[in-house]
């Protein structure tokens, strides 16, 4: 039997905006502007049980998904500073995601954070309970609103980005694009589903214990009527 979270993980506000937090309302809607009063909400086996592999004992502590508290130390320090009104942590930027028939924008929050033990200035990026720290030195354009992130895919040496104008698509491809947008909107509208689809084809040490390698997104793609096996626009997307 599937274990369900006792808390809402719905991320949509006013039917078209997506928050970068774990939820739009309820106990998981905490943010640096309104942080949770205690660390209970950082033990993901308790608040987001459905993101974990069935072999994980949900009674064990998983701090932001990690079994070792020390590996998440910088996040506990970040939230402690936020609770105490630390000025550096409260300098912030965030943008709601957007749902519309023409486009889907993902939400993102970024907060200044000086990381120990070397007092390295940088930023904590937050999206649906996922966190990444990046150094200011590696992000020369961040003050202008642009973040440079890259993770290699397999043995590829070139990053491919599909670009096109939706208004120039054929009627058949516009229908594919519409279905694709609706599917992406569904995935982003719930933080648990977002977690599980992002990790659905990944196997690496830092995601050990999560529901990785499930290929869940492919199931959703097939249910949406998109053919990603045959050559064509759906496969390119």
- Using CA atoms, how far residue 231 sits from 60, 79, 226, in Å, is 45, 47, 12
Indicate the pTM of the whole model: 0.85
Residue 11 has pLDDT above 50, yes or no: yes
Would you say residue 180 lies in a domain?
yes
Residue 190 has pLDDT above 90, yes or no: yes
Rounded mean pLDDT, 32-39:
88
Tokens representing 184 are 């992406």
Rounded mean pLDDT, 147-154:
70
Would you say residue 199 lies in a domain?
yes
Residue 99 class from Cβ within 10 Å (0-12 exposed, 13-18 middle, 19+ buried)? buried
Average pLDDT across the chain, whole number: 87
pLDDT of res. 71: 84
What is the percent of the chain where pLDDT is above 90? 46
Is the bond preceding 225 in cis, omega lying within 30 degrees of 0?
A: no
pLDDT of res. 192: 95
Rounded mean pLDDT, 165-179:
93
Residue 13 has pLDDT above 70, yes or no: yes
pLDDT of res. 1: 39
pLDDT digits (tens, 9 = 90+) for 92-104: 888 899 999 888 9
Would you say residue 42 lies in a domain?
yes
What is the percent of the chain where pLDDT is above 70? 92
Would you say residue 105 lies in a domain?
yes
d(CA 122, CA 135): 4
The torsion angles phi and psi of 115, rounded to 5 degrees, stand at: -90, 135
Residue 191 has pLDDT above 70, yes or no: yes
Would you say residue 4 lies in a domain?
no
Residues in the chain: 237
Total structural domains in the chain?
1
pLDDT digits (tens, 9 = 90+) for 152-169: 667 777 777 778 888 899
- Read off the pLDDT band of 139 (50, 70, 90): confident
Pick 193 or 71 by higher pLDDT: 193
Would you say residue 208 lies in a domain?
yes
Residue 3 has pLDDT above 60, yes or no: no
pLDDT digits (tens, 9 = 90+) for 197-229: 988 887 766 667 888 888 999 999 999 999 999
Phi-psi region of 190 (alpha: psi -120 to 50; beta: other; left: phi over 0): beta
Would you say residue 7 lies in a domain?
no
pLDDT digits (tens, 9 = 90+) for 56-87: 999 988 888 788 888 888 899 999 889 888 66
Would you say residue 2 lies in a domain?
no
In terms of residue numbers, what domain contains 75?
Answer: 12-236
- Read off the pLDDT band of 37 (50, 70, 90): confident
């Amino acid at each position: 039997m599937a274990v369900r979270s006792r808390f809402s993980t719905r991320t949509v506000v006013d039917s078209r905006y997506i928050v970068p937090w774990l939820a739009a309302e309820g106990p998981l809607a905490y943010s640096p502007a309104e942080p949770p009063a205690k660390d209970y909400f950082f033990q993901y086996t308790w608040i987001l049980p459905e993101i974990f592999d069935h072999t994980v004992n949900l009674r064990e502590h998983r701090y932001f998904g990690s079994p070792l508290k020390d590996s998440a130390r910088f996040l506990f320090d970040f939230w402690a500073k936020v609770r105490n009104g630390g000025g550096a942590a409260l300098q912030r930027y965030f943008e709601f995601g957007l749902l519309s028939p023409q486009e889907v924008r993902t939400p993102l929050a970024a907060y200044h954070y000086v990381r120990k033990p070397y007092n390295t200035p940088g930023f904590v990026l937050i999206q649906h309970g996922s966190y990444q720290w990046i150094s200011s030195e590696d992000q020369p354009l961040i003050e202008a609103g642009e973040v440079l992130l890259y993770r290699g895919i397999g043995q590829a040496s070139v990053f491919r980005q599909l670009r096109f104008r939706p208004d120039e698509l054929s009627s058949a491809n516009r229908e594919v694009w519409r279905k694709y947008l609706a599917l992406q909107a569904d995935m982003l509208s719930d933080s648990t589903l977002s977690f599980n689809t992002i990790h659905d084809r990944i196997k690496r040490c830092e995601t050990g214990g999560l529901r990785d390698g499930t290929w869940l997104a492919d199931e959703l793609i097939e249910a949406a009527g998109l053919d990603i096996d045959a050559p064509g626009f759906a496969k390119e997307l």
